[in-house]
Structures are given as structure tokens and as C-alpha cells.
Amino acid sequence: MTQLERQLLRHATDGVEPRICIRTATRVDTGRWWRPTPVWLCVMADELVLLSVSRRRYLERVALDECRATRYCHATGQLVIEPTESLTFPHLAMSPKQALAVLAFFTDRKRTSDSQPATSESLAAPRIANPPSTAPNNGRKPC
């Protein structure tokens, strides 16, 4: 992160350190004439912070509870933040490895909110509700 981006993040979160910060491949116009600037996705304890800064600032915050249906679309290579409608950029381009790191925070919150103890089996691999052969459209959601 640049100094301006760190300063904006500190100001937006009152100095609280994020759990993870990822520089996405999505770029937005923040006033540079030669190229757009990348969007940073920061996962805090209870919210997502999207930010980008140059001459203008782009900052959006959304509670993790409001975007429980967030998923990664492998066809487009984008993290789709759902079901929030307030975000200007709900689709963020990133690698599958980065998306898994972000989605891990959502699954951790779901486990703790369900108040079921996590076992070594539940932590090892996610369970699939419907097997791919019986699910409609091979179990994939449209992007």
C-alpha cells in the first residue's frame, strides 16, 4: 500500500489493523490522468473496506453480515460481493488463491454464528450440499 492508501485506511477504521489486505486487479478512476488506481480489499473484524486513492478518494465499507452470499466466479476471475446493492464495485478481479483467503473469513463467521463446534473434518474440506451430478446446471451459479 502507498502512504496515501495506508492513511485513508487508518482514518476510515480509526487505526484498527485489518485481518487481511488484498490488492485486487480491479482499477478505478481516482484522478490520475495516465492510468486508474487499484482497489484494495481489506477485511476487518466485522466489515469489508474497499479503498483506492490518488487525487480523489474511493472508500466504501460494508458489514460482513450483509454480504454472506459472497462467492468467487471462476469464469470471470472475480470475487462477487453479494447481496449488497450499496457497493459501486461489487465485482473485484483477483486470483482464486486471494479469493479463498477472503472467503475463509466468511466461512469462519458462518461457523461461529451457527454455534457448532468445528471439527478437523469440517476444517479440512468444505461440504457440498448437492453433488455436482444431481444439482441443476452442474451446481454452478451464473456469474
Per-domain residue ranges of the chain: 3-112
Burial environment of residue 127 by CB neighbours within 10 A (0 to 12, 13 to 18, 19 or more): exposed
pLDDT tens-digit readout, 82-119? 877 888 888 999 999 999 999 988 776 554 544 443 33
- What CATH code is assigned to 3-112? 2.30.29.30
pLDDT tens-digit readout, 28-78? 888 777 888 899 999 998 889 999 988 888 889 998 888 888 999 999 999
The whole-angstrom separation of Cα 96 and Cα 100 is: 6
